[in-house]
Amino acid sequence: MKIYKNLSLLLIVGLTSCGSGASEEDGTAGQADSNSTELPIALQRGMVEVDLNEFYVNASILVPDENRGEQNINRNDDFGETRVQVGTIYDVIIAEQIEGDLNTYIQMLSEDITFTNEVIEQGDDYVLYKSSITDSHIDPEYHFFAIKTIDGIVYELHDYNEEGGYAESVARLMLESINHMKANNTAT
């Protein structure tokens, strides 16, 4: 598992340094390039803007481009959530919030009996945290949870990985991505 995390991190760093391959000459320069002065460095290259409107979220989000994996976005109506996935390095769940708030979530983390959770960074509407098992040989994993209001609807957003968490750099990339989501223009 440690080998996979290290390979994923190496792949992300390598692909990020290569850029998206788009050029201004062929007109494929993405939204991330045109707003580069406003975006964190992690979102300036190798990212594309995706409109989530057809998945019942009136917003756009920057996700890794096709050089980092196949893009898969789907809506699960049984759970009322939208899943945005790119390869194995980007997997975010967006769901309408039913109850709770950020402080409740952080309190729940402190009461976890399996993992020791340490808040790495906290903002007004998000938390990045490290989960580890005390006295275990298993590497810590990093996660995020956020609450965003988009076009008057409150959503909770979090990472998803069936095999555990992510390396800190990958969790931060996803967190930066959701922190820079923007509502689409509404019809007038």
Q: Mind giving me the DSSP string for the chain?
A: -HHHHHHHHHHHHHHHHH-----TTTT---HHHHTTTTS-HHHHSSEEEEE-GGGT--EEEEEE-GGG--EEEEEETTTTEEEEEETTTEEEEEEE--S--HHHHHHHHHT-SS-EEEEEEE-SSEEEEEEE-TT-SSPPEEEEEEEEEETTEEEEEEE--TT--B-HHHHHHHHHHHHT-EEPPPP-
Q: Is the pTM of this model over 0.85?
A: no
Answer CATH for 2-183 from 1.10.3470, 3.40.50, 3.40.1000, 3.30.70: 3.40.1000
In this model, does residue 103 exceed pLDDT 70? Answer: yes
pLDDT tens, position by position, 19-55: 444 433 333 344 444 444 576 776 778 899 999 999 9
Q: Where are the domains of the chain?
A: 2-183
